[in-house]
């Protein structure tokens, strides 16, 4: 269904026994405000690259917490999107104060075989026993592999 069919999403939420997620197609903070305030979805998923970057996505996370809507960023594309999303999740409170039992932080991870999901950084993130640790390097925590980028340049 089209993303801005908010009434359709709300109707769908009433009819299914599982959480409805969305928001990766929203680009504007005002749009997120309406979606969260109206409880259009159970889980709001801004895409950092499309929704105003780290700062705006963090604002959406704070708003989601205030309205008791779960927050999980949409992550798809190059391997650089994943560490950015991990840093974002590490910077917010994801266990709402109204929750009796804290829940694990969930994060979308594209595992489609693709060299752009592994080659662009020198030390790609890895799951260790089901846990993804926050990278400790500068910036988003990973170092870009400049040599690998040359393989994708068009001159």
> Using alpha carbons only, what angle is made at residue 104 by residues 99 and 105, rounded to the nearest 5 degrees?
105
pLDDT of 8: 96
pLDDT of 32: 97
Q: 3-class SS at 44?
A: strand
pLDDT tens-place string over residues 131-152: 888 999 999 999 999 999 898 8
Residue 129 lies in a domain: no
Average pLDDT over residues 31-44: 96
Q: Tell me the pLDDT of the chain averaged across its residues.
A: 88
8 Å CB contact between 141 and 89: no
pLDDT of 105: 75
CA distance 131 to 126: 8
Residue 139 lies in a domain: no
pLDDT of 93: 72
Number of domains in the chain: 1
Give the domain range for residue 72: 6-111
pLDDT of 102: 66
pLDDT of 96: 59
Find, among 114, 135, 113, the residue nearest to 124 by Cα. 135
Here the CATH number for the domain that contains residue 85 is 3.20.20.120
Least confident stretch, 36-40, 50-54, 89-93: 89-93
Residue 78 lies in a domain: yes
CA distance 25 to 97: 28
Residue 22 lies in a domain: yes
Residue 98 lies in a domain: yes
pLDDT of 94: 63
Q: Which two tokens stand for residue 38?
A: 């109206």
Residue 64 lies in a domain: yes
pLDDT of 73: 92
Residue 97 lies in a domain: yes
pLDDT tens-place string over residues 61-107: 999 989 989 999 998 877 888 899 999 998 887 655 556 666 677 78
Q: Confidence band (pLDDT; 50, 70, 90) for 15?
A: very high
């Amino acid at each position: 269904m089209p993303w801005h069919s908010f009434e359709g999403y709300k109707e769908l939420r009433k009819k299914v026994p599982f959480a409805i997620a969305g928001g990766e197609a929203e680009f504007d903070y005002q749009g997120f405000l309406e979606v969260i305030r109206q409880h259009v979805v159970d889980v709001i998923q801004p895409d950092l690259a499309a929704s105003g970057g780290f700062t705006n996505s963090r604002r959406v996370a704070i708003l989601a917490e205030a309205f008791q809507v779960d927050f999980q960023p949409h992550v798809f594309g190059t391997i650089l999107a994943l560490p950015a999303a991990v840093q974002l999740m590490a910077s917010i409170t994801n266990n709402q104060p109204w929750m009796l039992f804290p829940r694990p932080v969930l994060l979308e991870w594209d595992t489609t075989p693709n060299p752009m999901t592994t080659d662009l950084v020198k030390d790609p993130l890895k799951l260790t026993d089901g846990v993804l640790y926050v990278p400790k390097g500068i910036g988003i925590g990973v170092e870009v592999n400049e040599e690998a980028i040359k393989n994708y340049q068009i001159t």
